[in-house]
Amino acid sequence: MTIRTGNVERQTRETRISVALTLDGKGECRIRTGFGFADHMLELMAHWAGFDLELSCEGDMHIDAHHSLEDTGLCLGGALHAALGDRLGIARVGWARVPMDEALVDVCLDLSGRPYLVYEEALLPSVVAGQEKDLWREFFKSLAVKAGMNLHVRMLYGQNGHHLLESAFKGVGLALRQAVRREREAVLSTKGGLDT
């Protein structure tokens, strides 16, 4: 069976990013974004998905982490899109509900080729790991758009920002693990194709 991989390189005046993604991996990661908390979250997601991920980002961290995380989402989503190819035979949908101490997060996604993000994060503190909470919405939005993924992340309850985001990233990883599974021969769509 063909190993599914995706590679993306992106360079702008704000960031320089390289991503190598293998869907059928062992959860092995080498991640350097310049923002340690983001490295931790991305490693959790890839590990729980069973993906191998090499990712490096050099960004304008002297401003903040916004551009680095937004562009990382774009590149990672693009690599996922490339690795999925024609999406032939994949389960397409995945979901997870993940606890982390007092926090509980619900994730559901569909690799339909039609991007959409529902992101309920009212419980998230305004600052997490020294950065504004909004950059995580931008990351998930960028990921969903470039991957062609309908992604729903709902933070159900919790108080600690680290715990809420860790639950979310583990949940996305588990849901992706289900959704990329090859379990049939045809595209899972009554219309005969996906909007890729």
Q: Is the pLDDT of residue 5 over 80?
A: yes
Query: pLDDT tens digits for 127-164?
Result: 999 999 999 999 999 999 999 999 999 999 999 999 99
Predicted TM-score of the model (pTM): 0.94
Mean pLDDT in residue range 44-48: 98
Q: What pLDDT was estimated at residue 189?
A: 63
Please report how the helices 36-49 and 66-84 are oriented relative to each other, as an axis angle in degrees rounded to 10: 20
Domains in the chain, start-ordered, CATH in brackets?
Answer: 5-180 (3.30.230.40)
Q: What pLDDT was estimated at residue 62?
A: 94
Q: Percentage of the chain with pLDDT > 70?
A: 95
The set of residues, in sequence order, having a beta carbon less than 8 Å from that of 94 and lying 6+ positions away, is 108, 109, 174, 175, 176, 177, 178, 179, 180
Q: What pLDDT was estimated at residue 106?
A: 98
Q: Is the pLDDT of residue 11 over 80?
A: yes
Instruction: Report the 10 Å Cβ neighbour count for 138.
Output: 18
Q: Is the pLDDT of residue 125 over 70?
A: yes
Rounded Cα gap, residues 178 and 172, in angstroms: 10
| Residue in the structure block whose two tokens are 């680095």 | 68
Please report how the helices 161-179 and 134-147 are oriented relative to each other, as an axis angle in degrees rounded to 10: 10
Count Cβ atoms within 10 A of the Cβ of residue 97 and give its class: 0-12 exposed, 13-18 middle, 19 or more buried: middle
| 147 SS3 class | helix
Q: Residue 152: which of 165, 141, 162 has the closest Cα?
A: 141
Mean pLDDT in residue range 93-121: 97
